Structure 1
């Protein structure tokens, strides 16, 4: 099944090889994983601010930005959406409390 996130992840993967002068994604990736992580952090904070403020439309917009930058950050480290989905599948049906306890 192809979702918007899957299509976005595929586009990000394709842009790894694009000219940074013509692609924002390529430009971010060219700056390295650390810059991609910094950008994700900025967008996550903006989403948090909108969640606290309660503006639904702005939260949706910032959440979309955060998801995009999360996928770019993952791509910068060679982690795919499928990798993350596999981890979520592994955790399915496990209590969040039990899952956190198993990490220790």
Structure 2
């Protein structure tokens, strides 16, 4: 399965009955809940990275990618938009790219 496949599956399930789909249920709770769940999964991945358990890290990383795509779906941001942003940054030093961002 590719990230494109997963993004298409998430988009399709967005219209499903929340009682029959975890994805639909999460999306029905709104962007804030989707972001919260993404954050929880990211923290779990960080913990496994620190512990050094490769198998658990791979599992948690899969959860992070899934919940990132759900969060994006909740705000109408497509994977294609994210990939276009990555393509725009390609060939640019990470330090240069970061310094070009507007200060908050």
Same-fold call, TM cutoff 0.5: yes
Aligned to 1:61: 59
SS at match of 2:11: helix
Q: How many residues align?
A: 102
TM-score when normalising by structure 2 = 0.96
Structure 1 residue runs without a partner (length 5+): none
Equivalent in the alignment of 1:48 = 46
Runs of 4+ in 1 over 3 A off after TM superposition: none
RMSD, aligned α-carbons: 0.7
Unaligned runs of 5+ in 2: none
Check if 1:25 corresponds to 2:23: yes
State TM-score, norm by structure 1.
0.96
In the alignment, the residues of structure 1 paired with residue 3 and residue 96 of structure 2 have an alpha-carbon distance, to the nearest angstrom, of 28
Task: Measure, in 1, the Cα distance between the counterparts of 2:47 and 2:8.
Answer: 29
